[in-house]
A = this chain, B = another copy of it.
Amino acid sequence: MQPFFTLEHSDKTSSARAGRVRTEHGEIETPIFMPVGTQGTVKAISPRDLETAGAQIILGNTYHLYLRPGDQLIRKAGGLHKFMSWPKPILTDSGGYQVFSLADLRDLSEEGVRFKSHFDGSRHLFTPEKVIEIERNLGTDIAMVLDECTPYPCSFEYAEKSHRMTLNWAQRCSTRFNENGPVHDYRQFLFGIVQGSTYPELRKLSAEGLMQIGFDGYAIGGLAVGEPKHQLYDMTAICTEILPQNQPRYLMGVGKPEDIVAAIGLGVDMFDCVIPTRNGRNGMVFTWNGKMKYKNSEFREDFRPIDENCGCYTCRNFSRAYLRHLFNTGETLVLFLASLHNIYFYLELVREAGKAILSDRFASWRKEFYERYEKNS
């Protein structure tokens, strides 16, 4: 059997890596960006269009899917892939982040986290074991452990206590994950999550603790929550220096194109973020020449595509003026067209980064990217 992850090349001009993740739903070339499909759909984009845009793996949110339509229903449907008609790999988060950001009346303890649903007020308890059972039912290729995502700023005392609880939860998740086989007829993989807020020593302890338990891959959590940019980069670098070379690293919830490029240079392999879809829906698109608010009046009679050189369906067929018109008139087609372009851009971005890594020119590629991208942003 081939390994879950192969490190194919380490760039000679940076810490960037190119690799390959293997799941029973297909292979993933890293570095990779994972479009976010919170409620069993990447908002406004059909699975067919996601594939055409180059998506290799998507992310589902355990918290949302557990509440609606429920993990038992998805289990009956044959798993999340079948339910949403997405044949390629899926990663699910643990639901922890959403419990802390969306749910009401959280009650956090070693046992787990009690919360009230944000949409109907029903009461629930997520324990590490419960979350693994849910992710088993969903049948995703890569499951995440339950963790507490600390806010920013966060006192050292709180961060230390929290990271220790997260480590205990990770151990319980691993134990439960290894006790029971998969619910569906394919293998699943489990990632640990490094926490520790902005404290280097806690990040180190957290990463080492997870490595002692042993996971298929490691995520870096608790970042992109409001901390200064240098701390995002510093904490990421501290983690990637410690984490095993021959396993994938996933920087959760990051993010902006410039941060993804920076984190690839620090040795991160996997990314997810709602920015491309959310910003697309709100009137903004990404290009190699920077961001563009297509809803602005300056594009009223601009009949050029978002990006003349882009190969996405949107750019090959529609103008800025048309997108602006759809946005102005509240036509939902624009949610699809703008989201699709942004997903295509993000996937092209990581693909181009991968090519640069494979030819040992990531540092110069990164420099060129920033010069072009930030000039107009």
Interface residues of A (CB under 8 A from B): 39-41, 43-48, 64, 68-69, 73, 76-78, 83-85, 300-301, 303, 313, 317-319, 321-322, 325-326, 328-329, 331-333, 335-337
Given contacts A46-B313, A48-B313, A317-B47, contact A326 B41 (CB under 8 A): yes
Evaluate contact between A69 and B336: CB separation under 8 angstroms: no
Evaluate contact between B329 and A39: CB separation under 8 angstroms: yes
Q: Which residue of B lies closest to A73 (CB)?
A: B301
Evaluate contact between A321 and B77: CB separation under 8 angstroms: yes
Evaluate contact between B337 and A69: CB separation under 8 angstroms: no
A321: which B residues are within 8 A, CB to CB? 69, 73, 77, 83
Give 14 A-B contacts (CB < 8 Å), ordered by A residue: A39-B325, A39-B329, A41-B333, A44-B333, A44-B336, A47-B317, A68-B328, A73-B321, A83-B322, A84-B322, A85-B317, A85-B318, A332-B335, A332-B336
Evaluate contact between B303 and A77: CB separation under 8 angstroms: yes
Q: Which residue of B lies closest to A39 (CB)?
A: B329
Q: Which residue of B lies closest to A318 (CB)?
A: B85
Given contacts A317-B47, A321-B69, A322-B84, contact A332 B329 (CB under 8 A): no
Evaluate contact between B40 and A77: CB separation under 8 angstroms: no
- Distance to closest chain B CB from A43 (angstroms): 6
Measured CA separation A76–B304 after assembly (Å)? 12
Given contacts A47-B317, A313-B48, A336-B336, contact A73 B41 (CB under 8 A): no
Measured CA separation A243–B77 after assembly (Å)? 54
Evaluate contact between A325 and B68: CB separation under 8 angstroms: yes
Q: Which residue of B lies closest to A42 (CB)?
A: B333
